[in-house]
Amino acid sequence: MKEAIADMALSIIRRHGGMIRTKTATAAGIQSRTLSALVQKGKLELSSRGVYRLTESELSSPDLFIVATRVPNAVVCLISALSFHDMTTQIPHKIHIAIERSTRAPQLEYPPLAVYRFSGNAYHEGIELHIIDGIETKIYSAEKTLADCFKFRNQIGMDVVLEALKLYRSRKKLNMKMITHYADVCRVSNVMRPYIQSLV
């Protein structure tokens, strides 16, 4: 492989935040044999099927980067969203994502996923767009995440939900209007009411 070709490919990948999908690389003029040669030389590594990462780059959230790249319609939710918003002491061992009920579940070898199916407004509302490691990542807002946690309290544990409420109250600006709205959207108003009243 010519050095000029390698340098050009590495420059393109750096402009993409240090990670690139095979499809994007091909569209940018990087041939698959160039990617393979860069892997052999130790300049690239295959992070996930079809996703290459520069070995020189240090991503703050490589797992979220892969999910945002490979599953663009997924929304980070529940424990992973709590972690992003600094509302839990839990360390998520999987990336918790929401997909639309009619969508086929993503197949990733890495990172491990916890997939939840949302429908209608419960999926579409409360999405925030955050640029993480140079890529747009969908994450539910703190208030939407609280409502989701109440909805899935049996799966994630009520202790996690109560801790999230406590940390939200101490670390975030209280937005009772949004909490109430998302409680309605997720159909957990009756369950949440006594807990959110204690926040005031």
The pLDDT value recorded for residue 74 is 95
Instruction: Kindly list the distances between the CA atom of residue 84 and the CA atoms of 77, 130, 192, in Å, as whole numbers in the listed order.
Output: 9, 10, 22
Q: Which of 48-62, 104-118, 128-142, 149-163 has the lowest mean pLDDT?
A: 48-62
Query: Looking at the structure, do residues 36 and 83 belong to the same domain, yes or no?
Result: no
Percentage of the chain lying above the pLDDT 90 cut: 48
User: 3-state DSSP call for residue 113?
Assistant: strand
Domain containing 18 equals 3-54
Give the domain-ending residue among 11, 29, 54.
54
Both tokens of 199, joined, read 């926040």
Query: Looking at the structure, do residues 38 and 67 belong to the same domain, yes or no?
Result: no
Q: How far apart are CA 59 and CA 69, in angstroms?
A: 13
Q: Which residues contact 175 (CB under 8 A, 6 or more apart)?
A: 143
What value does the mean pLDDT of the chain take?
Answer: 89
Read off the pLDDT of each residue in 8-23 and give the average, rounded to a whole number.
82
Number of domains in the chain: 2
Q: pLDDT digits over 136-150, tens only?
A: 899 999 999 999 999
Query: Looking at the structure, do residues 74 and 127 belong to the same domain, yes or no?
Result: yes
For helices 3-15 and 32-40, give the axis angle rounded to 10 degrees: 100
Q: Does the structure show a pLDDT above 80 at 119?
A: yes
Q: Does the structure show a pLDDT above 70 at 159?
A: yes
Q: How far apart are CA 114 and CA 96, in angstroms?
A: 5
Both tokens of 15, joined, read 């402009």
| DSSP assignment letter at 111 | S
Query: Looking at the structure, do residues 157 and 94 belong to the same domain, yes or no?
Result: yes
User: 3-state DSSP call for residue 63?
Assistant: helix
Query: Looking at the structure, do residues 112 and 91 belong to the same domain, yes or no?
Result: yes
Q: Which has more pLDDT, 148 or 173?
A: 148
Q: Does the structure show a pLDDT above 70 at 57?
A: no
Q: pLDDT digits over 69-116, tens only?
A: 888 899 999 999 999 999 999 888 899 999 999 888 888 778 899 999
Query: Looking at the structure, do residues 75 and 160 belong to the same domain, yes or no?
Result: yes
The pLDDT value recorded for residue 163 is 96
The pLDDT value recorded for residue 192 is 92
Query: How many degrees, rounded to 5, is the angle at CA 101 between CA 100 and CA 104?
Result: 80
- Could you give phi then psi for residue 184, rounded to 5 degrees? -65, -45
Read off the pLDDT of each residue in 123-140 and give the average, rounded to a whole number.
91
Nearest in space to 132 (alpha carbons), one of 64, 50, 80, 48: 64
The pLDDT value recorded for residue 55 is 80
